[in-house]
């Protein structure tokens, strides 16, 4: 019991003397990271502030610095009793209300990429900071297909596009189970058809477009024979129909001539 009282008397002053007591102000950015923005579009960042009802916010500051961590730039500040916000550039807007801070940049460009931070300061001078990475949304570049003949696999690769999505075609149709199985991420095609033949195409796409690469195996003989047989059957059918039509016309003409001769003789 004496030990418990001793600990209480020791810990209580530390809690009271701490900058935020038992209630510490916290801020975090709700955007999923990293944030990718299409050039020319709008960047929207949102942060939520968690604090004790007795605390008050005195300032909110938005900054950006390169991912290397040098030369931070202030983008916007919100201060005063009503937390009025002012951006440092015409296309930068900020707002703070209902324990939520937002930053908006119109006409996003490559120079706007980097590490963004929002710092919230209360009346006592204590502050909390949250950070997130913002990068430019890149188009698909340099699609390629590599072949592992021993394992009957085709692997599709892409250089640096943002959020690439992979799909496979055999000839001009989507790959089915008869042809092979596609991995969960879509990058690998496990070919199960035997023998491996025809054209395989990997298509990589995202919000800015798509690219493709192909692998050509030996031509599928069954398809060639089927096409040839179809053409031959069509030609024979046309010849047969033409022959029947010609025979009917000849027979009709012959009977008409015989009827005319009988009439003349009578």
pLDDT, tens only, 53-82: 788 899 999 999 999 878 899 999 999 878
Q: Domain locations in the chain? A: 21-136, 144-216
Nearest to 175 by CA among 199, 159, 194: 199
Q: β-pairing, 173-174 with 165-170?
A: antiparallel
Residues 6+ apart with CB under 8 A from 215: 145, 147, 154, 199, 200, 201
Distance, in Å, from the CA atom of 230 to the CA atom of 223, rounded to the nearest integer, reads 11
CATH code for the structural domain at 21-136: 2.60.40.10
Could you tell me what percent of the chain has a pLDDT over 90?
A: 60
Note the pLDDT of residue 265: 55
Q: Could you tell me the pTM of the whole model? A: 0.69
Tell which CATH architecture fits domain 144-216.
Sandwich (2.60)
Q: How far is CA 156 from CA 138, 166, 216, 217, in A?
A: 18, 8, 14, 16
Equal fold, 21-136 vs 144-216: yes
Q: Over the stretch 235-245, which tens digit does the pLDDT of each residue have?
A: 777 777 777 77
3-state secondary structure of 255: helix
Q: Please, what is the Cα angle at 78 between 76 and 82, to 5 degrees? A: 155
| Cβ neighbour number for residue 200 with a 10 Å cutoff | 24
pLDDT in tens, the chain (266 residues): 455 444 444 544 444 444 454 457 899 999 999 999 999 999 999 999 998 878 889 999 999 999 987 889 999 999 987 889 999 999 999 999 888 999 999 999 999 999 999 999 988 888 999 999 999 999 999 999 999 988 899 999 999 999 999 999 999 999 999 999 999 999 999 999 999 999 999 999 999 999 999 999 999 875 445 556 566 667 777 777 777 777 777 667 666 655 555 455 54
Q: How far is CA 98 from CA 26, 39, 50, 62, 118, in A?
A: 14, 31, 11, 17, 16
Note the pLDDT of residue 248: 73
Rounded to 5 degrees, φ, ψ at 56 are -135, 140
């Amino acid at each position: 019991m004496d030990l418990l009282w001793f600990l209480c008397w020791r810990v209580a002053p530390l809690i009271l003397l701490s900058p935020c007591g038992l209630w510490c102000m916290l801020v975090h950015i709700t955007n999923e990271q990293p944030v990718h923005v299409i050039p020319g579009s709008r960047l929207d960042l949102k942060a939520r502030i968690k604090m004790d009802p007795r605390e008050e916010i005195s300032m909110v500051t938005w900054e950006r610095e390169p991912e290397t961590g040098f030369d931070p730039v202030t983008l916007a500040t919100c201060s005063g009793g009503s937390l009025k916000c002012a951006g440092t550039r015409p296309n930068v807007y900020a707002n703070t209300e209902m324990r939520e801070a937002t930053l908006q940049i119109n006409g996003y460009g490559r120079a706007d990429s980097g590490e963004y931070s929002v710092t919230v300061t209360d009346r006592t001078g204590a502050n909390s900071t949250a950070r997130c990475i913002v990068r430019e949304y890149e188009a698909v570049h340099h699609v390629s297909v590599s072949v592992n003949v021993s394992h009957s696999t085709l692997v599709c690769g892409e250089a640096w596009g943002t959020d690439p999505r992979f799909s496979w075609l055999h000839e001009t149709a989507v790959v089915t189970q008869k042809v092979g199985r596609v991995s969960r991420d879509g990058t690998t095609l496990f070919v199960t058809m035997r023998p491996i033949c025809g054209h395989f195409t990997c298509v990589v796409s995202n919000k800015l477009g798509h690219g493709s690469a192909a692998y050509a195996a030996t031509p599928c003989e069954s398809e060639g024979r089927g096409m040839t047989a179809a053409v031959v059957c069509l030609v024979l059918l046309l010849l047969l129909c033409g022959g029947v039509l010609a025979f009917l016309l000849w027979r009709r003409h012959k009977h008409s001539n015989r009827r005319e001769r009988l009439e003349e003789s009578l």
